């Protein structure tokens, strides 16, 4: 379960949403507000979001959370991260925080970010060589976190 901690809120998202003429239901606004509150670089599952919203005054069903996450992703407000073992995580989309990679524990889903100029360079080089236009270069690494690794060994 992710805990909420103070972080710089980004205020540009909802205004860009208004510019595109999109309107969000109160539930979707709450989901988006939650991600803005916890800040960039945090990866939440639908269950995490549902659990965090359960403390609010108004109940939101898990199905509504799923729908909201999908919609916010399709609007480009959230970035969806598909985990190798079938799970999904969502994080705040941000221009200031692009092209980062993920170490994903296949056992517990713990997700850590890293940056790598080498990965970017390899993606760019491959794209250029084959005449592709690079849009996004993201590497998701299947792995076992120290905790799960220890459990497996012992
Ligand atoms: Zn990330
Ligand atoms: Zn793990």
Give 38 Cα–ligand 2 centroid separation in angstroms. 22
The highest-level CATH class for domain 1-94 is mainly alpha
Top-confidence residue, 1 or 69: 69
Top-confidence residue, 97 or 123: 123
Q: Is the pLDDT assigned to residue 1 strictly greater than 50?
A: no
**Residue 4 confidence class, pLDDT cut points 50, 70, 90:** very low
Interval 88-108 mean pLDDT: 84
Question: Which ligand is closest in space to the CA of residue 102?
Answer: 1
Give 89 Cα–ligand 2 centroid separation in angstroms. 15
Give 104 Cα–ligand 2 centroid separation in angstroms. 8
Give 34 Cα–ligand 2 centroid separation in angstroms. 24
Give 152 Cα–ligand 1 centroid separation in angstroms. 26
Rounded Cα distance, 2 and 38, in Å: 9
Q: Sketch the domain layout of the chain as residue ranges.
A: 1-94, 99-154
Give 101 Cα–ligand 1 centroid separation in angstroms. 7
Percent of the chain whose predicted confidence (pLDDT) is above 70: 79
Pairing label, strands 111-114, 101-105 = antiparallel
Range name among 10-19, 20-29, 47-56, 134-143 with the lowest pLDDT average = 10-19
Top-confidence residue, 27 or 65: 65
SS (H, E, C) 82-133: ECCCCCEEEEECCCCCCCCEEEEECCCCCEEEECCHHHHHHHHHHHHHHCCC
Top-confidence residue, 57 or 118: 118
Rounded Cα distance, 145 and 128, in Å: 34
Q: Report the candidate in 90, 28, 15, 24 with the shortest Cα–Cα distance to residue 58.
A: 28
Give 128 Cα–ligand 2 centroid separation in angstroms. 36
Interval 40-66 mean pLDDT: 86
CATH 2.60.40.3080, applies to 99-154? no
Average pLDDT for the chain: 82
Give 154 Cα–ligand 1 centroid separation in angstroms. 30
Contact predicate 104/66, CB 8 Å: no
Q: Is the pLDDT assigned to residue 135 strictly greater than 90?
A: no
Q: What are phi and psi of 119, to 5 degrees?
A: -65, -45
Give 147 Cα–ligand 2 centroid separation in angstroms. 6
Q: Is the pLDDT assigned to residue 127 strictly greater than 90?
A: yes
């Amino acid at each position: 379960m992710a805990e909420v901690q103070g972080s710089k809120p980004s205020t540009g998202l909802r205004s860009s949403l208004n510019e595109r003429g999109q309107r969000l239901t109160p539930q979707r606004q709450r989901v988006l507000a939650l991600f803005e509150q916890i800040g960039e670089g945090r990866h939440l599952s639908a269950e995490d979001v549902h659990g965090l919203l359960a403390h609010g005054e108004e109940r939101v069903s898990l199905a509504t959370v799923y729908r909201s996450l999908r919609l916010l992703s399709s609007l480009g407000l959230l970035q969806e991260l598909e985990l190798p073992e079938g799970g999904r995580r969502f994080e705040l989309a941000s221009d200031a925080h692009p092209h980062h990679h993920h170490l994903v524990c296949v056992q517990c889903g713990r997700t850590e970010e890293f940056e790598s100029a080498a990965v970017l360079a390899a993606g760019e080089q491959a794209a250029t060589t084959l005449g592709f236009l690079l849009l996004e270069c993201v590497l998701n690494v299947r792995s076992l976190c120290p905790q799960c690794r220890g459990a497996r060994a012992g």
